[in-house]
Amino acid sequence: MLTEQSAYSNRWRQVSPVAKGFFSLCGMVAAFTSSSPRAALLVSLTMTAAAVLGAGIPTVRYLRIATTPLLFLLASGLSLLVSLDFGNPVTGVSLHMAQSEIPRVLQVSCRSLACLTALLFLALSTPLSDIIALLRRCKVPATLLDMMTLCYRTLFVLSEAVHETMTAQSARLGYVSLPIALRSLGGLVSNLIVQVWQRSMALHTAAEARGNDGALRFLENRYAGSPQHITIAVASGVAMIALTVLLP
């Protein structure tokens, strides 16, 4: 929900999604062209600055959103460093850390961080409807985009249904002890499956009633001043890539 709020109410909301999308893409390319961890870190810093200073996402909120993926990144970085060894004569199995792997792991982690911040920049500055419209222009298959649209909308309908059912269950003491909570949870899940089925039928009927015959078509938003924004995004994005290539 935090991501959603930022996407709709940031300073760069009215900037063309093409510009933001291209800049984010440049960030990801730069992550791969950077030859050293230092360059990749620089890309991460640039993308974070673009989100926090440019789009005006509050720092605390940015950190809260970034925490979860950062934890995943940390976990995967550590697991790359540590490996299991089955040849230990005493215990049979042992953990050991490969010193020689450190530079490579550092490089991979920094690159991932750069990609992560680039993606976060796009997600926090652009509503999903704009991103989908952008992907449509990039000729991504319509079926995939229709599924994205429906998933996105259904996510909120579902989370509301979950919330309502859980509140109703709690009101009748559905979560007072662990066994009861487990039973309630079971009830919630089975109820949700039926609800999802019914809601999807209702959505289908509603789409049909408005003359739909398969593909979902919507009007795209228009953005004022897009050419300038796109020019700035292209220039800064390409400069960033060039810098990572040149930086030792």
Partner 1 sequence: MTDDILTLDSVSYRYPDGTQALDNCSIRIRRGARIAVLGTNGAGKTTMFLHLNGILRPSTGQASLNGVRLDYSRSGLKSLRSQVGLVFQNPDSQLFSASVREDVSFGPMNMGLTESEVRRRVEEALLAVGMTENAERPVHNLSYGQKKRVCIAGVLAMQPEVVVLDEPMAGLDATMQEELTAILDLLHKSGMTIIIATHDLDFAYGWADEAIVLQSGRLLASGNATEILTQENVCKVLGAKPLVAEINRQLSLIGIDLRDIDYMPRTKRELLQAISAQTRQEN
Sequence-separated (6 or more) residues with CB below 8 Å from residue 200: 154
3-state secondary structure of 159: helix
The one among 216, 238, 243, 247 contacting partner 1 by CB under 8 A: 216
Asked if residues 34 and 246 have their Cβ atoms less than 8 Å apart, the reply is no
Give the nearer residue to partner 1 in terms of CB position, either 108 or 157. Answer: 157
Asked if residues 34 and 40 have their Cβ atoms less than 8 Å apart, the reply is yes
Residue 4 contacts partner 1 per CB under 8 A: yes
Element at 96 (helix H, strand E): strand 92-97
The one among 68, 91, 100, 205 contacting partner 1 by CB under 8 A: 205
Element at 233 (helix H, strand E): helix 226-246
| Residues between 174 and 203 with contacts to partner 1, criterion CB under 8 A | 199, 202-203
Residue 208 contacts partner 1 per CB under 8 A: yes
Rg value, the chain, Cα: 23
User: Which string of x and - marks every residue 106-125 that binds partner 1 (by CB under 8 A)?
Assistant: --------------------
Give the nearer residue to partner 1 in terms of CB position, either 10 or 244. Answer: 10
Q: Contacts with partner 1: how many residues (CB under 8 A)?
A: 31
Sign of torsion, CA 217 219 220 221?
A: negative
Q: Contact positions toward partner 1, by CB under 8 A? A: 4, 8, 127-129, 132, 149-150, 152-154, 156-157, 160, 199, 202-203, 205-213, 216-219, 221
